[in-house]
């Protein structure tokens, strides 16, 4: 079994914590693959804290990073000490387009401002700002978004508008990783856990899709999913105990 999981609002609660899952994670013997809007630098903090050394998907499916030789061979090219497969575009390309528009985004915000808006610490805000393949827009008019949609994927993340390459999405990244796992282990059963609309492509790719609850209920989906009663981390624990074990 393989767990593909979103972070914000899914494994992590609104304070970016997952205390309630720590014990369970320690006991699990299956890969836990983060599939998140967060940058490599943010995700590395959580990987280290939770002792996870599986591949991970950054910036809404823009890139897959895998520890060297994780799949028994080289995939993609070497970047930041990992094997990297890039599905999106370099952030610089996005910023070139954004420059001429009237939008407020991480690029023209200070770390302090990002911290105030997100509730992330200053350290974590700096890591969130250090994006490689996407830009986070905080304020924009319809005209600017319409223009950006011609060239990029423009999606509402948890709160903000995420702009990334048209070739990138969480579903595609999960499909590629599932195939790599199948090459390694033969047949695998995949579990996907999310809470928001950007998780839908990921949930469509897995054998067992599951939603955790948001404060105001579950998102609408037009396919069968398991709906956990718990909000964020509590729902995550519920899903993993039900479909993977570790109780």
Q: Which residues bind ligand 2M8 (CB under 6 A)?
A: 8, 37-39, 42, 118, 120, 128, 136, 157-160
User: Which residues share a beta bridge with 209?
Assistant: 192
Judge whether 60 counts as a catalytic residue.
Answer: no
Q: How many CA atoms lie within 13 A of 139 on its CB side?
A: 6
User: How is the chain split among helix, strand and coil, in percent rounded to 5?
Assistant: 40, 25, 35
Nearest distance, CB of residue 91 and ligand 2M8, angstroms = 12
Nearest distance, CB of residue 75 and ligand 2M8, angstroms = 24
φ, ψ of residue 144 to 5 degrees: the values are -65, -40
Nearest distance, CB of residue 229 and ligand 2M8, angstroms = 22
Radius of gyration of the chain from Cα atoms? 17
Nearest distance, CB of residue 78 and ligand 2M8, angstroms = 24
The first and second tokens of residue 208, run together, are 């067992």
- Cβ nearer to ligand 2M8, comparing 23 with 90: 90
- Cβ nearer to ligand 2M8, comparing 114 with 180: 114
- Cβ nearer to ligand 2M8, comparing 164 with 181: 164
Which member of 6, 60, 83, 169 is catalytic?
Answer: 6
- Cβ nearer to ligand 2M8, comparing 83 with 135: 135
Beta strands in 6-160 (DSSP E): 32-35, 56-58, 63-67, 77-79, 82-86, 104-105, 134-139, 152-156
Active site members: 6
């Amino acid at each position: 079994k393989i767990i593909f999981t979103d972070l914000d609002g899914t494994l992590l609660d609104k304070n970016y914590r997952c205390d309630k899952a720590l014990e369970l994670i320690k006991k699990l013997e299956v890969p836990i693959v983060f599939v998140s809007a967060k940058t490599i630098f943010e995700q590395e903090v959580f990987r280290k804290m939770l002792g996870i050394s599986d591949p991970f998907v950054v910036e809404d499916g823009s890139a897959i990073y895998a520890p060297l030789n994780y799949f028994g061979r080289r995939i993609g090219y070497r970047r930041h000490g990992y094997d990297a497969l890039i599905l999106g575009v370099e952030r610089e390309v996005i910023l070139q387009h954004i420059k001429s528009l009237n939008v407020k985004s991480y690029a023209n915000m200070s770390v302090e401002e990002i911290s105030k808006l997100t509730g992330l610490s200053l350290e974590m805000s700096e890591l969130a700002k250090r994006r490689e393949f996407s830009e986070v827009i905080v304020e924009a008019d319809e005209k600017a978004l319409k223009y950006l949609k011609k060239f990029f994927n423009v999606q509402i993340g948890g709160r903000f508008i995420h702009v990334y390459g048209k070739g990138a999405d969480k579903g595609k990244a999960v499909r590629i990783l599932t195939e790599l796992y199948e090459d390694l282990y033969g047949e695998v059963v995949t579990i996907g856990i999310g809470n928001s609309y950007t998780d839908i492509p990921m949930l469509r790719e897995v054998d067992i899709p599951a939603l955790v609850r948001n404060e105001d209920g579950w998102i609408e989906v037009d396919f069968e999913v398991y709906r956990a009663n718990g909000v964020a981390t509590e729902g995550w624990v519920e899903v993993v105990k039900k479909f993977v074990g570790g109780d």
